[in-house]
Structure 1
Amino acid sequence: MSQAILEIKNVTAGYGDTEVLHDVSLTVYPAEVIGIVGQSGSGKTSLLNCVLQLEPNLEITSGEILYSNQNLLTLNKKEYRRLFQDEIATIFQNSNFTLVPTRKISSQFYETTKGRLTQEETRQKAYLLFEQFKLKNPERIFHSYPFELSIGMAQRVAVSLALMNNPSLLLCDEPTSALDVKSAYEMVLQLKKLKEEKGMTMVVITHNIALAAQLCDRIAVMHQGCIVEVQDTKTLIESPMHAYTKQLLAALPKTEGLWND
């Protein structure tokens, strides 16, 4: 197997005296989409926050997080910021974490691609992404403020922004939770297209195991701050090993589908 793009090695972390992650390890390979699933409070978002380092109260007490063999925990702020500008992008479940409400969307796209694309190239690429995500009238959207858009539209704009610099690794935190059924369907279709056509490497955090089954090559199941099972998707769905994974699958109604996020 090829060299890992992201390695989480024996990470233990917590908030103050409360430990929320216990010796967690996970490896992500290039062109792989791996899902991290579990109920609320299982630790999956805390694990993502360890990679992002955006939560000041979350302390990593042991372990390493390696991206292309460099330990993210040893980078200074400037190095870390450059890495997340150039190679790693994040889709948050709420567009407010990505889009600045008081700035026009156009200026946020121009800032993201500064030094890479001209403003005209940026505008054209943004329009193309908007159209791929079924956003009508891309010119109007591009020159709007985020608060002038619906929640679903703003989320799809935020995803487009994350993709502007062709990241090597895309981190997705509940990417469809703010969307209606139709928009969620279109979102996952586009993520699958990125996977199939561009070989995009993705880590997808979701409580929806049905969504993970549609999109991911492998699935890691988190429970009480631990990864209790990692399997390729087909094996995990058809022959789960851990009791908690079996409970998650058994809890899905017979009518459960991908779009219950």
Structure 2
Amino acid sequence: MNSMTPPQTLDIQGLRITLPGTARPVLDGVDLTIAAGETVALVGESGSGKTLTSRSALRLLPPGAVVEGAVKVGGQDVLTMNTKELRALRSGTVAMIFQDPRAAINPLRRIGDFLTESVTLTKTLSQADATARAAELLQAVGLDASALQKYPGQVSGGMLQRVMIAAALMGDPALLLADEPTTALDVTTQAEVIALLAKLRERFGTGLLFVTHDLDLAAAISDRVYVMYAGRIVESGPAEALFAHPRHPYTAALLASTPRLEAPQGRLAAIDGQPPDLRQELHGCPFAARCPLATEICDQQAPQPLPAPGTPHHQAACHHSDLLEGSSARA
């Protein structure tokens, strides 16, 4: 890296995580980067490793996890931090918006206490300054400062998710992790939250990792997209190029199975089979058993990421990506 090039907000290299009782890594050589002010989407089926990848930026790992590789935030490796450094990271540098806001906030405490607790305990701000900061952020997410005096049960799910976004921004994080933050919300509120995250990213210059299984949401909010399957990144690239011309059969299958109003009548396309069992080793491509393009080499040899012709930042780990060249999932 050039000495004048600033470090990535998040730089994950070769991340491999193995859990007790598994025959293969839950995450297997994951590479992922996010620049300052950039939104990156991480998509894939449930159980593919998206949440674990995002939580690695906070070193929130399952008990007994064996970890290899590097997870750097602002150039510092989270996996080698001591307790003091890790506490500072979690209280300000990196923040996370969890999928279910009601499971992440104490229902017996006022919203104002929830918002100000972390910065007052770490003495980052005085109580008065913290309250003023909380009121400012509530206004930024479209809520009135009167919400500070309310309990979580007195506001709607959409409002509470906005509170969680405000809480995540209290410490001016360089990196914001959003783990399917719109899953439990209605469509209108989903759109509002997406627009809000985009606006806040521009205002605060925060890098955003948006974890989702909804490809349309990923297309709407992200600059770049990583597609994950069975703990591996199978495709990555600029959002527009990846969705218009997928280079991996799994990405193409996900796009084909997305419900659309303009789609022809009939059964919705589905991906046959099941993801590979963690109790079984993988020797080749993890998607081979479900892939219509699979050949003998797919079962024997794991494919390496290769750039698309003329688009070096669009890569796919597939032996037969050339067969998808020129395809358009939106056509």
Normalization by structure 1: what TM-score?
A: 0.89
% identity of equivalent residues: 37
**Of 1, 5, 8, which residue of structure 1 is paired with 2:12?**
8
2:116–2:130: 8 Å Cα contact kept in structure 1? yes
Give the secondary-structure state (helix, strand or coil) at the position aligned to 2:90. helix
Of 105-114 and 243-252, deviating more is 105-114
The alignment status of 1:122 with 2:126, answered yes or no, reads no
Question: How far apart in 1 are the matches of 2:51 and 2:151?
Answer: 28
2:57–2:73: 8 Å Cα contact kept in structure 1? no
The alignment status of 1:80 with 2:86, answered yes or no, reads yes
**Of 204, 209, 212, which residue of structure 1 is paired with 2:218?**
212
What are the residue-to-residue correspondences of 1:100-179 with 2, within 5 Å?
Answer: 100-114=106-120, 115-135=123-143, 137-139=144-146, 141-179=147-185
1:51–1:65: 8 Å Cα contact kept in structure 2? yes
Question: How far apart in 2 are the matches of 1:246 and 1:164?
Answer: 39
Give the secondary-structure state (helix, strand or coil) at the position aligned to 2:26. strand
- Which residue in the other structure is 2:229 paired with? 223
1:221–1:245: 8 Å Cα contact kept in structure 2? yes
Pick closer, same or farther for the CA change 1:183–1:162 going to 2, 3 Å.
same
Question: How far apart in 2 are the matches of 1:14 and 1:97?
Answer: 27
Give the secondary-structure state (helix, strand or coil) at the position aligned to 1:252. coil
The structure in which a higher percent of residues are strand is 1
Give the secondary-structure state (helix, strand or coil) at the position aligned to 2:70. strand
Residue 219 of structure 1: CA displacement?
0.2
Residue 110 of structure 1: CA displacement?
2.4
- Which residue in the other structure is 1:24 paired with? 30
Residue 96 of structure 1: CA displacement?
3.9
Gapped runs of 5+ residues in structure 2?
A: 263-331
- Which residue in the other structure is 1:259 paired with? none
Residue 218 of structure 1: CA displacement?
0.2
Q: Deviations over 1:62-115 (max 9, x none)?
A: 211111221111112221011121211111111245422222221222223323
1:6–1:29: 8 Å Cα contact kept in structure 2? yes
Residue 245 of structure 1: CA displacement?
0.6
Residue 183 of structure 1: CA displacement?
1.7
Of 167-176 and 24-33, deviating more is 24-33
Residue 42 of structure 1: CA displacement?
1.1
2:91–2:119: 8 Å Cα contact kept in structure 1? no
RMSD (Å) for aligned C-alpha atoms: 2.0
Pick closer, same or farther for the CA change 1:101–1:233 going to 2, 3 Å.
same
Question: How far apart in 2 are the matches of 1:104 and 1:40?
Answer: 33
Question: How far apart in 2 are the matches of 1:185 and 1:124?
Answer: 28
Normalization by structure 2: what TM-score?
A: 0.71
Aligned length: 254
Question: How far apart in 1 are the matches of 2:118 and 2:34?
Answer: 26
Pick closer, same or farther for the CA change 1:58–1:134 going to 2, 3 Å.
farther
Residue 34 of structure 1: CA displacement?
0.6
Pick closer, same or farther for the CA change 1:167–1:43 going to 2, 3 Å.
same
Question: How far apart in 2 are the matches of 1:232 and 1:82?
Answer: 32
The structure in which a higher percent of residues are helix is 1
Of 225-234 and 1-10, deviating more is 1-10
Question: How far apart in 2 are the matches of 1:201 and 1:97?
Answer: 25
Gapped runs of 5+ residues in structure 1?
A: 257-261
Question: How far apart in 2 are the matches of 1:124 and 1:80?
Answer: 27
